C-alpha cells in the first residue's frame, strides 16, 4: 500500500504515534510518505520505504497570517498524484482533516479518488476543536473522512457527544514497540541521578498546563519527606519555569533534574522507578505506555482514557485530579514495598506487551485501511456528483 501520513512534526503524542506507525508500516513493506512542514522528530536516519515531503509556506507580504492548511492541501494533491497514494492518513483533526478533505475535492474534480482516514488524538476533540471558531469545521471534517479512528474508547465517546455525530469511529489504541521499549542497563545514568541509590521518580511531557507539572513537584515534595528520593523531569514547555521556580521555593533543586527535551527515553526510563502523570486530561497517555513498556508502574489521575491503560492496583495507581496527598501516599507505599513494586513493574510491562504492542496494533491499522479502501468514498469523484 502507498500511504500518505500527515502529523505535527514537533514534540507531542499525535506526531509520535503517526511517526511510529509510519516506521512500522514501512518495515512491513508499505510505502509511507510523510507530508508536514518539518521532518517528524522521531524520524531519524535513512529508512527504506519512507519518504518525506516538506510543505513550504509562500512568503508574500500580503499574507500576514499563515496559509499552512492551504499549502498542505496543495502538497497532498501533488503527492497523491505523483506518488500514486492509496490513502491519506491524517493525525490530529485540525487542520489536517480539513486540508485532506480539500485535497480530495480537488482530486475528485480530476477523476482521482483518494481515501481519507483521520485519527483523533485528544485536544482536537476535547479542547481546541470545541472552540466556536473551529467546531463546525472540525465536525464537518470528521463526518466527511472515509474512516475515523480514536486512540481510546473515551475519545470515541467524547467525539460522538461533543460533536453530536452518529458516524462509526474505530478505536485503535496507541501502541509501543515493546522490543525497543524495554528496560536496559542504565546504571551510569541512575548513578548520576541518584548517587546514593535513591529511588527515582520520572515525568515526561510537553509541560503544558494540561499536564499539571507542578503537581509532580508537589507529589515529590511529600514523598521526599518520607524517603530519600530523586526526580527527573523530561521535556519542555510553558510550565517548566513555574515547576523550576517551585523547586527553588521548596528548597530541593539539587534533588530534581530538569533535562529538557530528550530523545533517549528508553535509557532514561531504565534509570527510573516510577512514572508520574498527574494530567488534567489525557485521551490516552502515550508516554505512560512507553514507561510501562520499560517496566515502570504509573501514578496517574482518573481522567480520559488513562484508566483504559493504567490499571489501578495492578500496573500503578489512579488518584483524583489534584489529590497530591493520595498520589504521594501511593508512591511511598510502592517504593517501600519491594515485593509489591516488583509485581507492579512486571504487570506494567506485561500489559504493554499483551495489549499495546506494535506487532498487534499496527495490523489493526492495516486491516482498517483495507476496509476503508473497499468501501465507497464519502464523497464521490466529480463525475458522480
Ligand atoms: O491533544 C494533545 O494534547 C496533543 C496530542 C498530541 O498531539 O500530542 O496528545 C494527545 O494524543 C496523544 C497520542 O494519541 C495521547 O497519548 C494524549 O493523551 C493526548 N493528549 C491529551 O488528550 C491531552
Give the phi and the psi of residue 41 in degrees, each rounded to 5. -65, -20
Residues 97/81, Cβ–Cβ less than 8 Å = no
Q: What is the pLDDT of residue 383?
A: 43
* Test site for ligand 1: of 121, 290, 307, most ligand atoms within 8 A of the Cβ: 121
Question: At 198, is the secondary structure helix, strand, or coil?
Answer: coil
Distance from the Cα of residue 302 to its chain's centroid: 18
* Test site for ligand 1: of 7, 95, 96, 123, most ligand atoms within 8 A of the Cβ: 123
- Strand-pairing partners, residue 181, are none
Looking up cell 528548597 gives 251
pTM: 0.95
Q: What is the pLDDT of residue 377?
A: 75
Ligand 1 closest atom vs CA 289: 16
Give the phi and the psi of residue 139 in degrees, each rounded to 5. -55, -50
Q: What is the pLDDT of residue 381?
A: 52
Question: At 209, is the secondary structure helix, strand, or coil?
Answer: helix
Ligand 1 closest atom vs CA 124: 1
Residues 261/267, Cβ–Cβ less than 8 Å = no
Minimum CA distance residue for ligand 1 atom 14: 121
Pocket, ligand 1, Cβ cutoff 6 A: 8, 12-14, 17, 92, 121-123, 151, 174, 210, 281-286, 304
Q: Write down the domain spans for the chain.
A: 2-175+359-374, 187-356
Sequential DSSP letters for 49-113: TEEEEE-PPP--TT--S--HHHHHHHHHHHHHHHTT-SEEEEESSTTHHHHHHHHHHHHHHTT--
Distance of alpha carbon 205 from alpha carbon 92, whole angstroms: 18
Question: At 307, is the secondary structure helix, strand, or coil?
Answer: helix
CATH for 187-356 (3.30.1180.20, 2.40.30.110, 3.40.50.2000, 3.40.50.720): 3.40.50.2000
Which parts of the chain have pLDDT scores under 70?
A: 378-385
Q: Which three cell numbers stand for residue 317?
A: 495507581
Question: At 360, is the secondary structure helix, strand, or coil?
Answer: helix
Q: How many A from CA of 37 to the centre of ligand 1?
A: 19
CATH topology of domain 2-175+359-374: Rossmann fold (3.40.50)
Distance of alpha carbon 48 from alpha carbon 28, whole angstroms: 10
* Residue 332 CB burial class (10 angstroms; 0-12, 13-18, ≥19): middle
Q: Which three cell numbers stand for residue 376?
A: 465507497
Ligand 1 closest atom vs CA 286: 16
Helices 324-336, 213-226: inter-axial angle, 10-degree rounding: 50
Distance of alpha carbon 91 from alpha carbon 289, whole angstroms: 19
CA distances in angstroms from 18 to 5, 77, 184, listed in the order given? 7, 20, 25
Q: What is the pLDDT of residue 350?
A: 98
Amino acid at each position: 500500500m502507498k500511504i500518505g501520513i500527515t502529523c505535527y512534526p514537533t514534540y507531542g503524542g499525535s506526531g509520535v504515534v503517526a511517526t511510529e506507525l509510519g516506521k512500522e508500516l514501512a518495515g512491513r513493506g508499505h510505502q509511507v510518505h510523510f507530508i508536514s512542514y518539518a521532518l517528524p522528530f522521531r524520524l531519524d536516519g535513512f529508512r527504506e520505504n519512507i519518504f518525506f515531503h516538506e510543505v513550504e509556506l509562500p512568503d508574500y507580504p500580503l499574507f500576514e497570517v499563515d496559509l499552512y492548511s492551504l499549502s498542505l492541501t496543495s502538497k497532498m494533491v501533488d503527492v497523491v498524484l505523483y506518488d500514486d497514494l492509496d490513502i491519506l492518513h491524517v493525525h490530529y483533526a485540525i487542520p489536517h482533516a480539513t486540508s485532506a478533505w480539500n485535497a480530495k475535492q480537488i482530486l475528485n474534480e480530476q477523476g482521482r479518488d483518494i481515501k481519507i482516514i483521520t485519527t483523533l488524538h485528544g485536544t482536537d476533540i476535547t479542547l481546541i476543536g470545541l472552540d466556536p471558531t473551529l467546531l463546525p469545521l472540525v465536525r464537518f471534517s470528521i463526518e466527511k473522512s472515509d474512516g475515523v479512528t480514536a486512540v481510546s474508547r473515551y475519545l470515541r465517546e467524547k467525539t460522538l457527544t461533543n460533536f453530536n455525530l452518529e458516524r462509526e469511529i474505530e478505536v485503535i489504541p496507541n501502541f509501543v514497540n515493546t522490543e525497543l521499549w524495554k528496560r536496559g542497563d542504565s546504571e551510569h545514568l541512575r548513578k548520576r541521578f541518584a548517587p546514593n541509590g535513591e529511588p527515582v521518580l520520572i515525568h515526561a511531557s510537553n509541560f503544558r498546563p494540561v499536564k499539571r507539572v507542578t503537581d509532580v513537584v508537589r507529589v515529590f515534595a511529600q514523598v521526599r519527606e518520607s524517603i530519600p528520593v530523586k526526580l527527573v523531569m523530561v521535556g519542555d514547555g510553558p510550565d517548566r519555569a513555574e515547576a523550576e521556580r517551585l523547586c527553588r521555593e521548596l528548597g530541593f533543586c539539587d534533588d530534581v533534574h530538569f533535562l529538557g527535551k530528550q530523545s533517549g527515553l528508553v535509557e532514561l526510563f531504565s534509570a527510573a522507578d516510577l512514572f508520574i502523570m498527574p494530567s488534567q486530561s489525557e485521551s490516552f497517555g502515550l508516554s505512560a505506555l512507553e514507561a510501562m513498556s520499560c517496566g515502570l508502574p504509573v501514578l496517574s489521575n482518573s481522567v480520559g482514557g488513562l484508566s483504559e491503560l493504567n490499571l489501578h492496583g495492578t500496573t500503578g495507581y489512579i488518584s483524583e485530579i489534584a489529590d497530591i496527598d493520595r498520589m504521594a501516599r501511593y508512591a511511598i507505599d510502592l517504593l517501600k514495598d519491594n515485593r509489591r513494586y516488583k509485581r507492579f513493574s512486571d504487570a506494567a510491562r506485561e500489559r504493554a506487551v499483551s495489549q499495546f504492542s506494535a506487532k498487534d496494533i499496527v495490523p489493526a491499522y492495516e486491516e482498517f485501511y483495507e476496509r476503508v479502501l473497499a468501501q465507497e468514498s464519502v464523497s464521490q469523484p466529480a463525475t458522480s456528483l
